[in-house]
């Protein structure tokens, strides 16, 4: 397995281009299953999760064309998806096991074909990750659902019916799935306590361009008037706010200065305010966001994850790493996932001073220095936190299990090298040759 080698202690300065958002792109791809026409997505990030979702759609009978493109002066991918007729209505275990977001085929296929079988994903490194909200909402829309041999088997032979649904938790995945299902249902669906993440509004924008009638996206009540058919559309994926927030921390933790080209301040208000409160200069530029931590003395900050527009759980690990380089104590509280401090024991191996209380809170105390070590993490964001710690540490850090990073950070080494990091990928083949 590939590794990343970092020699820490360099101040990062320059510009980093922010790619299209992984967590927006994944449901957008699945929205293409709602129509027999072509859906074209531009500004798509080049990530292994996108490749996995494309593989699943090919398996369902979607024809996918891939183009190298230039969006806003930067290389990206454009993909065209055409599912004239699905050749399978099953998302098999091997796909779902690799990527939970495979469950996004559930709503679209059930709405279009009245039947779908999706392997239950099971838990993952950050928590149990139940699907009860998705399934209960589909049942309220008239679907018959059975769990058999590890699969969700859903039927709605007489079409899904609009319903008034109140989610017990503002789930991102369930909001996307039910919005897609309701787009082709009979009548009106109202989702109360819907998720408000920017990725939801991006999906609604594509669905409306395809002919759906969705309003209220971005608020906690979304109304979807079902239509009988949807058509093709072309859509540009929004910039990745989590990637932008992650590189903002790279600037701060190395006391550097990075302009995050294409980053959208309005989607990052809460984490950027925490950076400011900690002593980093953060400003909006015509092209994105400038994060300037040169000569900054950072002070510890308390952070609590929350649903959007609160502090994103997907930036918790990165900000926790930053707080190790701040003066004083910080309390970091995780409220979304029950097991999201897996980076802590690895950071401790680098000299961190962190006390985890139960599953939800960690007290982080600033340390004089971090020192490089061999580390590994069990999820994407935790892995990036280890990269950040490596950038700030004295000496060499080796981050193992790089496949986690490849799921969600496009051209990670290239982007960090471009702002002055001493970072390289050790390919498994190179490593074997050196042995
Ligand atoms: C999305 O996951 C993201 N993934 C996650 O990012 C992110 O951490 C999460 O939203 C929260 O922002 C994608 O977009 C592909 P949820 P999702 O349903 O949709 C509970 C990353 O690193 N819940 O909003 O699966 C659940 O247990 C990933 O890029 C139920 O109880 O998250 C959790 O506590 C990791 N029942 C809360 O809701 C359900 O049926 C939020 O989960 C569904 C969820």
| CB 245 less than 6 A from any atom of ligand 1 | no
- DSSP 8-class letter at 259: E
pLDDT, one tens digit per residue, over 378-429 is 899 999 999 999 999 999 999 998 989 999 999 999 999 999 999 999 987 6
- Ligand 1, atom 25: closest residue by C-alpha: 173
% of the chain exceeding 90 in pLDDT: 91
Look up 176 and say whether it is catalytic. no
With respect to CATH, is domain 22-236 assigned 3.65.10.10?
yes
Give the domain ranges of the chain. Answer: 3-18+239-434, 22-236
pLDDT class of 431 with cuts at 50, 70, 90: low
Average pLDDT, the chain: 95
For domain 3-18+239-434, give the fold. UDP-n-acetylglucosamine1-carboxyvinyl-transferase; Chain (3.65.10)
Residue 122 has pLDDT above 70, yes or no: no
Mean pLDDT score, 1-29: 97
Residue 117 has pLDDT above 80, yes or no: yes
Neighbours of 355 (CB within 10 A): 12
pLDDT, one tens digit per residue, over 137-180 is 999 999 999 999 999 999 999 999 999 999 999 999 999 999 99
- Ligand 1, atom 39: closest residue by C-alpha: 131
pLDDT, one tens digit per residue, over 240-254 is 999 999 999 999 999
Residue 17 has pLDDT above 60, yes or no: yes
pLDDT given at position 359: 84
**Backbone angles phi and psi of 133, in degrees to 5:** -70, -45
pLDDT given at position 392: 98
Atom nearest to 133 CA in ligand 1:
40
Query: 22-236: same fold as 3-18+239-434?
Result: yes
């Amino acid at each position: 397995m590939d590794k990343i080698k970092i020699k820490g202690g360099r101040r990062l300065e320059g510009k980093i281009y922010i790619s299209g958002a992984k967590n927006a792109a994944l449901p957008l791809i699945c929205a293409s299953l709602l129509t027999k026409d072509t859906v074209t997505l531009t500004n798509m990030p080049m990530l292994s999760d996108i490749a996995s979702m494309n593989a699943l759609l090919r398996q369902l009978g979607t024809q996918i064309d891939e183009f190298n493109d230039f969006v806003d002066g930067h290389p990206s991918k454009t993909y065209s998806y055409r599912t004239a007729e699905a050749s399978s209505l099953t998302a098999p275990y091997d796909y779902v096991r690799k990527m939970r977001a495979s469950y996004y085929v559930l709503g679209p296929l059930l709405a279009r074909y009245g039947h779908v079988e999706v392997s239950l994903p099971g838990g993952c490194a950050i928590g149990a990750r139940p699907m009860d909200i998705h399934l209960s909402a589909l049942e309220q829309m008239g679907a018959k659902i059975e769990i058999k041999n590890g699969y969700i088997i859903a039927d709605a032979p007489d079409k899904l019916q609009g319903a008034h649904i109140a989610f017990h938790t503002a789930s991102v995945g369930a909001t996307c799935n039910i919005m897609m299902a309701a787009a082709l249902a009979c009548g009106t669906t109202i989702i109360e306590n819907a998720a408000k993440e920017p990725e939801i509004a991006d999906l609604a924008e594509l669905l409306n361009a395809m002919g759906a009638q969705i309003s209220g996206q971005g608020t906690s009540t979304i109304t979807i008037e079902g239509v009988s058919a949807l058509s093709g559309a072309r859509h540009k994926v929004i910039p990745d706010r989590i990637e932008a927030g992650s590189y903002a921390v790279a600037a701060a933790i190395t006391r550097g200065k990075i302009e995050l080209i294409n980053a959208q301040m309005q989607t990052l208000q809460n984490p950027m305010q925490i950076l400011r409160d900690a002593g980093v200069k953060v400003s909006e530029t015509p092209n994105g966001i400038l994060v300037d931590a040169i000569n900054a003395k950072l002070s510890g900050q308390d952070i609590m994850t929350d649903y959007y527009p609160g502090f994103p759980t997907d930036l918790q690990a990165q900000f926790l790493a930053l707080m190790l380089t701040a003066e004083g104590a910080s309390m970091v509280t995780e409220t979304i996932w029950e097991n999201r401090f897996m980076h802590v024991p690895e950071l401790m191996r680098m000299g961190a001073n962190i006390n985890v209380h139960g599953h939800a809170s960690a007290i982080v105390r600033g340390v004089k220095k971090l020192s490089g070590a061999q580390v590994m993490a069990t999820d994407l964001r935790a892995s990036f936190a280890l990269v950040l710690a490596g950038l700030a540490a004295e000496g060499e850090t080796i981050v193992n299990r790089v496949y986690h990073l490849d799921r969600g950070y496009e051209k990670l080494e290239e982007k960090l090298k471009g702002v002055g990091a001493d970072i390289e990928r050790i390919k498994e083949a190179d490593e074997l040759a050196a042995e």
